Amino acid sequence: MDTPLIAVEGTYEEMGAEVGHRTADLVARSVETYLRRFRDKSGLSPADVRRWGLTFLDVARSYDAGIAAMLEGLAAGAGQPVEHIAALNARTELLDGTGYDEGCTSVAVLPKYTRDGHTLLAQNWDWHPEQGAVTFLLATRDTEGFAVLTLAEAGMLAKSGLNSAGLGVCANRLQSDRDRAGAGVPYHFLLRGVLQSERMSRAHRKVLDVPRVSSGNLLIADAGGEAIDLEVAPDVFGALLPRDGLLTHSNHFQAELPLEDRKAASSGLTLLRHERVRHLLEDTAADRAIGLEHVVAALRDHYSFPDGVCRHLDPDATPAEECHTVYSVVMDLDARELAIAGAPPCARPFERWALDEVFKPDAAPELCFDPDTDGGRRSPAW
């Protein structure tokens, strides 16, 4: 199994403590890495990080009691100061304005345009290579039976994923001149907030009706057959809807908002990546025949190598600037299934997980989309 799975059940504090205990070594590495980045990229002293961590912990308590309880439990289980764990989950905000290139390409397909009549959601996550080793699939099931399956960096609670209500989310980094220091809800809290939502309307409120201090993009879809893209920044937001069954996004604002986009010019090929995915899928969408194998093929695309949808390391980049596709994630929201491949996803099979199976003691993934079999375009698993 290339991508570790950590599955926990119980109260939110109990789940956090179990995750922290089982990933303590990874959390320690993640804390060390981000403390160094906060110092080197943002000029934050250890005291600064602790102060901001406590600030964002207070924000979590006001935003979502379950998230706060998981953070506190995770810190205790991993033997880490809770302010460091809160700071990890606010790493977007603490690194804001440093010019780092965290990319991502996301896509949703409405069920009317898919072969099986299911809502599909997927993305490539582009980030520093070293984070791949401390990233895993996190499955949680609370005392009411509500379950979440999400990609997560050690010490953090969410990234792209889905829940037992059939709702999923993908993440794309955005940056604007409105971004600022302050006590707003961190971007990764918003992602977990969406995944804690039992319906689309509640997910919208968890993203939009809260104070924010940073920009970000959330592509949200559900088994009810709808998808929406929410571009958020401090005090403003925009919404994008599917066109001809497809909704795609990368790392720049597409809605008309009163702000200056500060990633459009620098983030690798962002102005084309989302349209490239659309171009690769639109003919099959017109035939109402898209399957996840077509989405996988689009996410493996190498146009403008090494900076394409499937991003590879740039030989001219310094170690601090290195960025590639760390993970590729594809989801069938009706089936409540998620498949994932690590770097490079163009050369690896995906591991498929069903949400109702991940909590079994003998849970194991099923391989699919093997690149050595017809380019991974066909797989009986789907």
Least confident window among 167-176, 214-223, 312-321, 360-369: 312-321
Q: Which amino acid is at 177?
A: D
Query: What is the percentage of the chain residues whose pLDDT exceeds 70?
Result: 96
The string over 118-143, giving b where at least 16 C-beta atoms fall within 10 Å of a residue's C-beta and e elsewhere, is: bbbbbbbbbbbeebbebbbbbbbbbe
pLDDT at 379: 40
Residue 97 has pLDDT above 70, yes or no: no
| pLDDT tens digits, 192-250 | 999 999 999 999 999 999 999 999 999 999 999 999 999 999 999 999 999 999 999 99
Q: How confident is the model at residue 130 (pLDDT cuts 50, 70, 90)?
A: confident
pLDDT at 382: 40
pLDDT at 378: 41
3-class SS string, the chain = CCCCEEEEECCHHHHHHHHHHHCHHHHHHHHHHHHHHHHHHHCCCHHHHHHHHHHHHHHHHHHCHHHHHHHHHHHHHHCCCHHHHHHHCCHHHHCCCCCCCCEEEEEEECHHHECCCCCEEEEEEEECHHHHHHEEEEEEECCCCCEEEEEEECCCCCCCEEECCCEEEEEEECCECCCCCCCCCCHHHHHHHHHCCCCHHHHHHHHHCCCCCCCEEEEEEECCCCEEEEEEECCEEEEECCECCEEEECCCCCCCCCCCECCCCCCCCHHHHHHHHHHHHHHHHHCCCECHHHHHHHHCCCCCCCCCCCCCCCCCCCHHHCCEEEEEEEEECCCCEEEEEECCHHHCCEEEEECCCCCCCCCCCEEECCCCCHHHCCCCCC
pLDDT at 373: 82
pTM of the model: 0.96
The answer to whether the Cα torsion of 90, 96, 101, 105 is positive or negative is positive
Cβ contact 328:137 at 8 Å:
no
User: Cα separation of 17 and 80, whole Å?
Assistant: 11
pLDDT at 102: 67
Average pLDDT over residues 40-64: 97
Q: How confident is the model at residue 100 (pLDDT cuts 50, 70, 90)?
A: low
Q: How confident is the model at residue 377 (pLDDT cuts 50, 70, 90)?
A: very low
Least confident window among 96-105, 133-142, 250-259, 290-299: 96-105
Residue 101 has pLDDT above 70, yes or no: no
Other beta carbons within 10 angstroms of residue 45's beta carbon come to 10
Alpha carbons within 13 angstroms on the beta-carbon side of residue 233 total 21
pLDDT at 267: 83
User: Cα separation of 337 and 163, whole Å?
Assistant: 10
User: Cα separation of 36 and 42, whole Å?
Assistant: 10
The residue among 146, 18, 44, 154 whose CA lies nearest residue 89 is: 154
| pLDDT tens digits, 242-296 | 999 999 999 999 999 999 999 999 887 999 999 999 999 999 999 999 999 999 9
pLDDT at 96: 77
| Mean of per-residue pLDDT scores for the chain | 95
User: Cα separation of 255 and 316, whole Å?
Assistant: 33
Cis peptide before 242 (omega within 30 of 0): no
Place of tokens 């600037």: 321
Average pLDDT over residues 185-189: 97
pLDDT at 2: 86
